[in-house]
Chains A and B, each alone.
Chain A
Amino acid sequence: MMLELAAKKNRGNFALDARFELPTPGVVALFGRSGCGKSTVVNVIAGLLDADQGRVVLDDAVLLDTERQINVTPERRRIGYVFQDARLFPHMNVAANLRYAEKRAPAQRYVSFDAVAGMLDLDPLMQRRTHQLSGGERQRVAIGRALLSQPRLLLLDEPLASLDAARREEVLPYLETLRDQLAIPMVYVSHNFDEILRLATYVVLMEAGKTIAQGGVGEMSLNANLRAIIGADSVGAIVDGAALGLDAVSGLMRVQVGSCELKVQPVAAAAGVKLRVQLLARDLIVATREPQHVSVRNVLTGVVRAVTGDDPGSDLVAIDIGETLIMARVTKAATRELGLAPSLPVWVLVKAVSLRAYPRAGWPRCDPGA
Chain B
Amino acid sequence: MIWLNPSETDALGISLSVAARSVLLSLPPAVLLAWVLTRRRFLGHTLLDALVHLPLVLPPVMVGYLLLLLFGARGPIGAWLERAFGIELVFTRNGAALATAVMAFPLMVRAMRISLENVDRGLEDAARTLGAGALDRFATVTLPLMLPGVLAGAITAFSAALGEFGAVITFVSNIPGETRTLPLALYSALQTPGGDEAAARLAAISFVLGLGGLLLSEWFARKVRRLLGR
- Chain A: residues with CB nearer than 8 A to chain B? 46, 48, 73-81, 83, 85, 87, 89-91, 100-101, 104-105, 129-132, 145-146, 149
Contacts and interface: CB of A to CB of B under 8 A. Distances in A.
Interface of A is mostly: mixed
Contacts of A130: 229
Given A48-B125, A89-B126, A131-B229, 17 more contacts: A48-B128, A74-B129, A75-B128, A75-B129, A81-B129, A89-B123, A89-B127, A89-B141, A90-B229, A100-B127, A100-B130, A104-B132, A130-B229, A131-B228, A132-B229, A145-B130, A146-B130
B130 A104 contact: yes
Contacts of B123: 87, 89-90
Contacts of A91: 144-145, 227-228
Per CB-CB distance, the 9 closest pairs between chain A and chain B, nearest first, are A131-B229, A104-B131, A87-B126, A81-B129, A74-B128, A101-B130, A90-B228, A91-B144, A149-B130
B122 interface: yes
Interface of B is mostly: helix
Contacts of A48: 125, 128-129
B131 to A, nearest CB: 4
Contacts, number: 66
B228 A149 contact: no
Contact of A90 (B125, B128, B129, B145): B145
Contacts of A105: 131
Nearest to A43: B125
B229 A79 contact: no
Contacts of B141: 89
B129 A146 contact: yes
Interface string B114-145: 00000010110111111111001000110011
Contacts of A101: 130-131
Nearest to B128: A74
A91 B226 CA distance: 10
A101 B128 CA distance: 10
Question: Which residue among B122, B126, B132, B136 has the maximum number of chain A CB atoms within 10 Å of its CB?
Answer: B126
Interface string B204-218: 000000000000000
A149 to B, nearest CB: 5
Contact of B229 (A80, A81, A129, A149): A129
A149 B120 CA distance: 21
B131 A75 contact: yes
28 contacts: A48-B125, A48-B129, A74-B125, A74-B129, A75-B129, A75-B133, A76-B131, A81-B125, A83-B122, A87-B120, A87-B123, A87-B125, A87-B126, A89-B126, A89-B141, A90-B123, A90-B145, A91-B144, A91-B145, A91-B228, A100-B130, A104-B131, A131-B228, A132-B229, A145-B130, A146-B129, A149-B129, A149-B131
B129 A46 contact: yes
Nearest to A155: B129
A83 B130 CA distance: 12
Contacts of A149: 129-131
B136 to A, nearest CB: 8
Contacts of A78: 131
Contacts of A75: 128-133
B140 A80 contact: no
Interface string B135-174: 0100011001100000000000000000000000000000
A97 to B, nearest CB: 9
A74 B132 CA distance: 9
Contacts of A100: 127, 130, 132, 140
Contacts of B129: 46, 48, 74-75, 77, 79-81, 146, 149
Contacts of B130: 75, 100-101, 104, 145-146, 149
Contacts of A77: 129
A132 B144 CA distance: 19
A77 B133 CA distance: 12
A91 B230 CA distance: 11
Question: Which residue among B126, B129, B133 has the maximum number of chain A CB atoms within 10 Å of its CB?
Answer: B129
